[in-house]
Chains A and B, each alone.
Chain A
Amino acid sequence: MWRGNAWPATLLITGMVVYGLFVSLSMTTWEDYSRLFRDPVFLESIGISLYVAVSSTVLSVLIGAWLAGFFAKQTGWTAQVLAVPLFLPHLGAAYLAILYLSDLPVIGPHEVNQFSIILTYLYKEIPFVFFYLLPVYRRLDHRYEELGLMLGLSRLKRFWHGKGVFLLFPVLEAAFIVFAFTLFAYEVPALLGVTYPKLIGVYTFDLYTQGDLSRQPEAFAISVLLTGILFLLLVIFTRTIRPLTERISKGRVE
């Protein structure tokens, strides 16, 4: 049996990622980075972006995972209904927010609390998390928990050994994907966000495209800095969580 070939995809993706990063790096000097850390607009933008990304991620993962667990056995109509937002691009979801939330006082678009952005993300990301985790929940073997019951383990330990070990990595992975997406997205915050402080994706993109050329190195510096930080987080994440769950779940027949 031919076992496939991962080289073309690896070279293509890694090539583009590494080369994009390399070019950005070559366009910046140390001065650009130190200027970034002294730039209050940038720091404020990071703060507000983190607020939006963290709250969207936590809410969509909690709700999506809970729904996936609840409907794992039989989905019925719920799966069909939850699939509908998957057909709607993020731009379309942003339009729905403009259409319905515009006249509302607190949660409307262009409010400092950014509730409309978070709600738009929830509309799109809860179904994503749901479908990401549904197969994981379906593969769970209930006999582990029964074994735990027989051995007289506490409720918490039973959950951890029966479900937690198998869920931890996929749940965190889904969270990471949603987090990275909501942190750097352009379209939704550009349409629904306030003009100051802008979310980081909008801020950087505008720096790169609209501002005069003298501010482009700043955009490149942000690109390098944030990609680097996220890459570091990813390495820490895979290094620590994967071995932990793999060690415990090893020997399990898929």
Chain B
Amino acid sequence: MKRRAITAVIGLLVLVPLLGLIPSTWTWNPRLLETLTTTVSMIAVLTLLNHLIGYVTGKAIAFRAGRLIRYMELLISLPLFLPVLLLSFGLYLTWIRLGLADQFIGVLLVLLLPTLPYTIRMYTNAFQALGEQMMEQMVLIEPSRLKRFLFLTGPMMRSAIQSVTLLVTVIALSQYALVTLIGGGVVQMIALEAFPLYSGNSLVAAKEATIWLLVLPFLIYFVQLILLEGWVQVVRRLLDGRYDSARQ
């Protein structure tokens, strides 16, 4: 009974505020639409990089022992505990010197700072949950590295992959100050258009921006869900009985 009451209160507090986002009239704000290409491609590249680096690093942190890797783990988590925005003041000057300021790639690199530590943590947890014995078992079953990832490790880490994409998307979408500073207004992400709308007078325009901010993560999440589901289905079909020695 108490459990149900708490769930009801949480549901009320979390979901009811979102009702205010249901649109009454819908317009396509052209300025917001223009930023979508940059926003989506930035998120796509950023997510891909996060997965790549996160996978490799998370595995190392989970399965390597020793003092060095513990220090590396601490160094990698630094951006979680330090003010990234304040650090980017110095980085901006460096980016100007390197020609990375006001560039897509410059913003991409800086956006790795607030996202990558989370990604690595999630991959570390996923690898720890799988466990070393399971990983070694898989080496015995399937010697090919690529096949091992496609058939075993990948599908088994599905929930981690999903959470990483979601978190990276949401964090990247919310960065106004960082993108303004490093992108110099040239790299137009959706936050750059949304932010001024909130301090302006038009609640309708602000609402539309917010809907985009909420819909984009959901959309990306569901596209990914379908892709991962397809992956698992294909693997199931391909593996159908092939390794089942009892059936021979």
Contacts and interface: CB of A to CB of B under 8 A. Distances in A.
B145 A2 contact: yes
Nearest to B145: A2
Given A95-B210, A98-B198, A99-B203, A5 B60 contact: yes
Interface stretch (A36-44, A149-157, A175-183): A175-183
B87 interface: yes
A194 interface: no
Interface string B54-90: 1111111111100001001111101111111111111
The DSSP consensus for interface residues of chain B is: helix
Contact of B214 (A19, A76, A92): A92
Contacts of A212: none
A87 interface: yes
B194 A226 contact: no
A4 B15 contact: no
A201 B55 CA distance: 32
A119 B171 CA distance: 19
B14 A89 contact: no
Interface in A205-224: 205, 208-209, 219-220, 222-223
B81 A176 contact: yes
A248 interface: no
Interface string B121-147: 000010110000001100100000100
B174 interface: yes
A187 B84 CA distance: 13
Contact of A180 (B81, B116, B166, B210): B81
Interface in B66-118: 69, 72-76, 78-91, 93-94, 109-110, 112-113, 116-117
Contact of B87 (A4, A5, A17, A183): A17
Interface stretch (A6-14, A54-62, A160-168): A6-14
B6 interface: yes
A187 B81 contact: no
B173 A89 contact: yes
A174 to B, nearest CB: 10
A9 B57 contact: yes
Interface string A77-100: 110011011111111101110111
A84 B13 CA distance: 11
Given A6-B69, A13-B79, A227-B82, A20 B206 contact: no
A99 B214 CA distance: 15
A238 B214 contact: no
A221 to B, nearest CB: 10
B75 A84 contact: no
A144 interface: no
Interface of A: 1-10, 12-14, 16-17, 19-25, 27, 67, 70-71, 76-78, 81-82, 84-92, 94-96, 98-100, 123, 127, 135, 176-177, 180, 183-187, 190-191, 201, 204-205, 208-209, 219-220, 222-223, 226-227, 230-231, 234, 238, 254
Given A17-B87, A88-B217, 9 more contacts: A6-B57, A9-B53, A22-B90, A71-B3, A89-B214, A98-B198, A177-B80, A186-B85, A220-B90
